[in-house]
Amino acid sequence: MSEHNTPSLDNLDAAGPSSRTLKRVGIGAAVIALAVVAIGTTSRIMATNGLETVANDAAIPTVAVVSPIKDANGDALVLPGNVQAYNSAAIYARTNGYVRRWLADIGDNVKAGQPLAILDAPEIDQQLARAQADYQTALANQRLAETTAKRWSAMLEKDAVSRQESDEKLGDLAARSALSIAALANVKQLRALQGFTRLSAPFSGVVTSRSAQIGSLVVAGNAAAQPLFTVSDIHRMRIYVRVPQGYSSALHPGLGATLTLPEYPGRSFAATLTRSAGAVDAQSGAVLVQLEADNPDGALKPGAFSQVNFKLDAGQGNGVSLPGSAILYSNDGPSVALVDGKGRVTMKPIKIARDQGATVLVSGGLSPSDRVIDTPPDAIRTGDMVHVQAPAKTADGKGKPNAH
């Protein structure tokens, strides 16, 4: 039985795998494992590199750029102006009294010399009456002294009196004459004060203010008092404008300009520059100029605000316009960020000639071919790299193809 149940060594070798086969299987498994590891490592490296590329790209900001445009009003300069009457007079009382009547109100057209109000001044009336009486007394004394002096001169010729006595009478006549002249001057002064109880317009114009009230007390010489009337000559108006120093050389007498006022949309008024202060104000850095404009229909009102558009000679407009959002402000002053064709940033200081609200006018240093970053980051510096959005837009908001 044992001989039949026990396998021989030859049978075992025939039934199990050979060592060569096992070796091949092991080598194949190792190769496969190495391949799997290599593929995993390679994919991880590629993923890491891809993430680094994405991170680097994300670190470079994407910006919009604008192209400076030549000042749309290259031959024009728009500045605020203050409209004033050609002549304006505040009417005060020159004598104390009470307002008896006022004869003109605001908006009335008055002629030169036309009465505006009448005052009651009883004190002046009484002083004038007393002064006239004093003058009559002085005049009577003068006449008596004159008659006496003539008589004494006649008696002197007959040696009836001494020369000393005759000279005394002549001296008395001179003194009486001086007193008479002084009394007459006092009468004229009081008559003039009495005449001031009648307030009159100094020139033809419009009454633009009235504070006179019937029965109110008027005190002359009160610096804090309001004028009883204000009369303005508005047939022609004066407009005062402060011009920045950089443009003052372009303005000269005879230069034309147009006015626009908010209450007259779509309407403009012609004006001419007539005078310049010829000096730069130390506080504002501007030169005060005066323009004049005809006002036949009274549309221009004293004290009005206006926009003055100067018609500069050709070639005076040398600035470019940028949106205000493109300007960076620092301790060194305003600057802009320029982008070249490779996306590299260059910071450039600028000088703002005029701030127009949404846009600013830059005087020189930029050209329409420059690309300026709109709304740049505060931390942007020269040498930084940026991605530029396409298309770019101009400073006036119109898009155009972006050249890289």
Q: What is the pLDDT of residue 9?
A: 46
**Distance, CA of 269 to CA of 297 (rounded, Å):** 12
pLDDT reported for residue 207:
95
Q: Maximum CA pair distance of the chain?
A: 216
Looking only at the bridges linking them, the beta strands covering 352-355 and 359-363 are antiparallel
Query: Tell me, what's the pLDDT at 87?
Result: 94
pLDDT value at residue 322:
85
* Model pLDDT for residues 225-260, shown as the tens digit of each residue: 889 999 999 999 999 999 988 788 888 899 999 999
Question: Scanning the structure block, which residue is given the tokens 């002084």?
Answer: 182
Q: What is the structure's pLDDT at 12?
A: 44
Going from the C-alpha of 89 to that of each of 105, 120, 202, 245, 274, the distances in angstroms are: 15, 23, 8, 32, 22
Phi, psi of 12 (to 5 degrees): -65, -40
Quote the CA–CA distance of 80 and 82 in Å, as a whole number. Answer: 7
Residues 64-80: b if buried by 16+ CB within 10 A, e if exposed: bbbbbbebebbeebbbe
pLDDT of 47 reads 62
Q: What is the dihedral of CA 182, 186, 187, 191, to 10 degrees?
A: 150
The pLDDT value recorded for residue 104 is 93
Residue 394's pLDDT is what?
A: 55
Regions in the chain scoring below 70 on pLDDT: 1-18, 47-59, 71-76, 223, 313-318, 354-357, 390-404
pLDDT at res. 49: 60
